[in-house]
Structure 1
Amino acid sequence: MNGALLATKACAVKPLKVSPALGGALAFLGLDRALPLLHGSQGCTAFAVVLAVRHFREAIPLQTTAMSEINTILGGADNLEQAIENIFKRAAPAVIGICSTALTETRDDDIVGDLKLMRERHPDWDDLAVVYARTPDFLGSLEQGWGAAVEATIRALVPPGSGRKRLRQVNLLTGSHLTPGDVEAIAETITAFGLTPIILPDISGSLDGHVADAHVPTTLGGTTIDAIRRMGHSVLTLAVGDHMRGAAALLEDRCGVPFRVFDRLTGLAAFDGFVAELIAVSGAKAPEHLQRQRSRLVDAMLDSHGTLGNRTLALAGEGDMLVAMGRFVTELGARVAVAVAPCATPALAHVPAERIIVGDLDDLEQAIAAAGTDSIELIVANSHAAEIAHFFDIPLMRAGFPIFDRLGAGHQVTVGYEGSRTLLFALANTFIARGHAPAATAASGATLPPFMGETDHAPASSC
């Protein structure tokens, strides 16, 4: 990997970055009976809601303190207090997750001190959990906001002290690059070893697309407050994604729970390591269905190696997504010509790309143009890259956040043996549908006729 190149533009031309405040809000949406509150202007919350609703295709409970120009100058404590009081009375949540924005952070209000004074004035809030996370737009991207919210939740709700350990209980800290489907698949794997996972945040219970019997103004499902308070009694913390390292370390400092960070759970070797850790913790053998799934993945790798070998990809997204996708495709014989991340993170050191750029989608476009459209065969990025892919006539595999022009983004599973196999086939079939010959055949100069099924000609209506 070459060193990451920092973009020199003074603005984002085609933004790749997603607001840290939205990342924090999405993490809070993984708590049961929660209501995220963005401490900023109405516009900040409106844009965040639009992105989340279009991605998950669900009603997203998200509130705002509706800061105005005057409030910003004089201080936003009154707006914050009024917002909490209104939410408490109307929605009766178990937890309110407050995410700061660049607007309020620039003024540098003492939110922690303000919240302490508010609680003294409102003894009826005693049973209400209020978590405050610093998520200004000038500090990172979606990953950093998500991580800040998880750390703030642990700091506010997990009692310090080691306590008595429960030998079959483990913590699972899920990163922002995981879908609700991913989280559910990981939890099922842990449960298969006879272990009980406490998932934080658990978006598989709140953003999985189920239909409620009646309208509820808070999240439907997720990690309960009681479960979070028991995290200090776990024997191990499993963190998925490097941006979850801080939260895992915080749990160890507060409660003495050791942790293991997995940079990805996509791919054969990566998930083998996760399964080995579960075997060590549980003392149990790998279940037969997991062994069967592993065998299927190996077979799929054999089936598709001729299609994926020597292919060239361009990636764009958050750091841990780039690590998971980049290492997966390179293990299959492909190469990553360029990877673009919205901000510099330690995870970028593990992205197997020939060129890494910290910038936006305009930088991705310029890199593809410089490399030549014939050299880049697939783009992996979110839906905002669709225009670039169309312009260069390069296929786009949608990954990351947001995905708003396809259905089922929250149900995609790309972790574990089964999820890796699904992703593997999706990659291979993208190249097959494109009509490119396998890499070995193309290198020899030979051509293959298009396969039309049982007839000699495609139907007249085919595209």
Structure 2
Amino acid sequence: MAHVVESKKACTVNPLKMSQPLGASMAFLGLDACMPVMHGSQGCTSFGLVLLVRHFKEAIPLQTTAMNEVTTILGGYENIEAALLNIRKRAAPKLIAICSTGLTETKGDDVNGFLALARQKHPELADTEIIYVSTPDYVGAFEDGFKHAITGVVKSLVKPLPLVQDQVTLLPGSHLSPGDIDELREIIEAFGLKAIVLPDLSGSLDGHIPPDWRGTTLGGTSLDDIRAAGASSWTIGVGEQTREGAEALQAISGAPFQIFERLTGIEANDRFLMRLSQHSGRPVPAKYRRQRSQLLDAMLDGHFYTGGMTVAIGAEPDLLLAIGALLHEMGAELRCCISTTQSASHALLPAETVLLGDLEDLEQGAKDCDLIVTHAHGRQAAQRLNKPLLRMGFPVFDRVGNAHRVQVGYRGTMALIFEIANLMIEQIPHHHADDWPLTPEARRAALARTAAPQSMPPSPLAEASA
């Protein structure tokens, strides 16, 4: 069990964490025909938009209420009203999802009251679902915003329905990529179950070319599917951050839930597949038995390069646990662990201490480590320390294919092991003939051998025949 320590520095240097509004916005991007809105200044939204675009390499629908100095003091009702009417007119979304920022939280805007008044004044808004989530960016982190967004969607839109036994709800954490979600859906469906994924980034940010342009999200969990989650017989949460949403679903529909703290690693996936087998009444398919055998072999091959190495990791809590626990199972030592916010996941991490800090803390702790694991903002620290960097988390803007990266399930775990092992192989020095210094006598002898005529030694076969 890791001991959690909060940094006491006067200021954050080279921040590790992303804000709550950005995490909530990413969750909203997994809802179909949705327009996420940040209630705050244009700068807040622009900064988050740039990070999302650079990470996914996709067009990102994200709007703002464009608060300024005057409206911040007088109140933001008129800005919210104008934003709702303009978005409905231009993009016609089925859902408008609003999250707050530090600016409007500090002012104390009564957004729920604003929304009720706007609906009363403008009956045309009746055909559009509108939800609001409080996500001040001066507390918490990216993972907290994602968590509150899931809970807000569940409480606002899910209603109890008659039970559908072969339907389950999957709540993925913010650390899962669209490729991860696709992998988990495939595993669940292999047991004859239907999965409602909330939110489903694999439908909206999986890097496809859409057949049309709507100005809203182009895929994800539809409103009908969100409402249908009230009929699911079981809720699966991936990451501690999904517990709040799973509890909200249970309170509404009565469906039991189980939180899998991670699905990277062999033991965690064994439990996941056995639980799916129990729920569905079907045996584990042969292909997953084969994949498990392949993962065991991959762990055997990879541990030669990971065993005994020391690692510095900077990540959100659930990602920190997923990667850190796997590295520990592969024989690595978690010497420096930096995270962003409080979480029950820290208690499960096989490390002595977790520091809630920044990338400066990571750089200082990584001086004696063999590997650094964090997002793309850690690349300068890795260069200064001359250490290999495994890019993980959000944002990763200097690599392509982030949406298709798979790190869950047996296959995803195997791919991650290979990635780490290959990164460490690149650090092994390879010596060549010119690397070894020669004495003057040895150099003269080598030159003499090069200059002398070479004669072929007699063949043993020729001597034997003679």
Whether TM-score is above 0.5 comes out as yes
Counterpart secondary structure, 1:285: coil
- How much has 1:24 moved relative to structure 2? 0.3
Question: Which residue matches 2:317?
Answer: 319
Residue 215 of structure 1: how far off its partner (Å)? 2.2
Aligned length in residues? 433
Q: Distance in 2 between matches of 1:9 and 1:304?
A: 38
Report the secondary structure of 2:268's partner residue: helix
1:126 is paired with a residue of what secondary structure?
helix
What's the counterpart of residue 291 of structure 1? 289
In structure 2, the residue matched to 1:360 is 358
Counterpart code for 1:309? G
- The one of 381, 386, 392 equivalent to 1:399 is 392
Write the mapping of 1:306-455 to structure 2, written as runs, cut at 5 A.
Answer: 306-368=304-366, 373=367, 375-435=368-428
Structure 2 counterpart of 1:181, one-letter code? G
* Contact kept? 2:188, 2:194, Cα under 8 Å: yes
Residue in 2 aligned with 1:443? none
Aligned to 2:448: none
2:56 and 2:305 map into 1 onto residues whose CA distance is: 32
Deviation digits for residues 104-153 of structure 1, max 9, x if unmatched?
01111111111111111121112211111111102210000001111110
Give, as a single letter, the amino acid of the residue that structure 1 aligns with 2:210: A
Matches within 5 A, 1:22-41: 22-41=22-41
The residue number in structure 1 matching 2:302 is 304
Larger Rg: 2
Letter of the 1:423 partner, please give it.
L
- 1:220 corresponds in structure 2 to 218
Q: How far off its partner does 1:235 sit?
A: 0.5
| Structure 2 counterpart SS, 1:99 | strand
**Which residue does the alignment assign to 1:458?**
none
Note the C-alpha offset of 1:450: 7.3
Match of residue 208 from structure 1: 206
* TM-score normalised by L of structure 1: 0.92
Q: 2 CA distance for matches of 1:308 and 1:450? A: 25
1:214 Cα deviation after fit: 2.9
Q: SS of the residue aligned with 1:306?
A: helix
Letter in 1 for 2:73: I
Q: Secondary structure at the match of 1:222?
A: coil
Q: CA deviation at 1:2?
A: 4.1
CA distance in 1: counterparts of 2:290 and 2:126, whole angstroms:
51
Letter paired with 1:333: G
Superposition pairs for residues 76-87 of structure 1, below 5 Å?
76-87=76-87
Aligned partner letter, 1:10 = A
Partner of 2:63: 63
Corresponding residue SS for 2:237: strand
Q: Percent identity?
A: 47
**1:125-274 equivalence runs, <5 A:** 125-159=125-159, 161=160, 163-274=161-272
For 2:77, the aligned partner's letter is A
Equivalent position of 2:456 in the other structure: none
1: CA distance between counterparts of 2:112 and 2:194?
34
Q: Give the 4+ runs in structure 1 shifted more than 3 A.
A: 448-451
Partner of 2:75: 75
In structure 2, do the counterparts of structure 1 residues 2 and 225 end up closer, same or farther at CA, with 3 Å as the change threshold?
Answer: closer
Moved more, 271-280 or 427-436: 427-436
* Residue deviations 1:361-394 (CA, integer Å, cap 9, x gap): 01111222xxxx3x30000100000000000000
Distance in 2, Cα, partners of 1:382 & 1:244:
22
Aligned partner of 1:444 in structure 2 is: none
CA distance in 1, matches of 2:101, 2:287: 46
1:413-459 CA-to-partner distances (Å, cap 9, x unmatched) read 000000000000011111111116xxxxxxxxxxx8579xxxxxxxx
Could you tell me how far apart the structure 2 residues matched to 1:37 and 1:10 are? 32
Residue number in structure 2 paired with 1:10: 10
2:255, 2:82 → 1: CA distance? 38
Q: Which moved more, 1:35-44 or 1:115-124?
A: 115-124
Contact 2:2-2:349 within 8 A present in 1 as well: no
Counterpart AA for 2:387: I
Q: Secondary structure at the match of 2:361?
A: helix
Offset, 1:344: 2.1
SS at match of 1:247: helix
Alignment of 1:100-111 (within 5 A): 100-111=100-111
Q: CA RMSD in A?
A: 1.3
Aligned equivalents of 1:412, 1:306: Cα separation in 2: 24
User: How far off its partner does 1:213 sit?
Assistant: 2.4
The more displaced of 427-436 and 395-404 is 427-436
| Structure 2: gaps of 5 or more residues | 434-466
Shift of residue 287 of structure 1? 1.1
| Partner Cα separation in structure 2 for residue 366 and residue 6 of structure 1 | 16
* Maintained 8 Å contact 1:37/1:62: yes
CA–CA distance in 2 between the matches of 1:57 and 1:322? 24
Q: Show CA shifts across 1:262-291 (max 9, x none).
A: 110001001111101110110011111111
Deviations 1:292-320 (A, max 9, x none): 11111011111122221111100001000
1:89 aligned onto 2:103: no
Q: Residues 435 and 450 of structure 1 are in contact (CA less than 8 Å); yes or no, is this contact kept in structure 2?
A: no
Return the alpha-carbon distance in structure 1 between the equivalents of residues 325 and 263 of structure 2.
Answer: 11
Aligned to 2:447: none
Q: Is the 8 A contact 1:165 1:234 kept in 2?
A: yes
Q: 1:42 to 1:450 in 2, by over 3 A?
A: farther
Corresponding residue number in structure 2 for 1:440? none
Mapped to 2, the partners of 1:312 and 1:280 lie a distance apart of: 39
Matched letter for residue 396 of structure 2: I
- 1:52 alignment counterpart: 52
Q: CA deviation at 1:4?
A: 1.5
Confirm or deny: 8 A CA contact 1:207 1:410 kept in the other structure.
yes
| Amino acid paired to 2:38 | L
Per the alignment, residue 456 of structure 1 pairs with none
User: Residue type matched to 1:5 in 2?
Assistant: V
Q: Quick one: distance in 2 between partners of 1:403 and 1:93?
A: 29
How far apart, CA to CA, are the structure 2 residues paired with 1:341 and 1:165? 39
Secondary structure (helix, strand or coil) at the match of 2:201 reads: coil
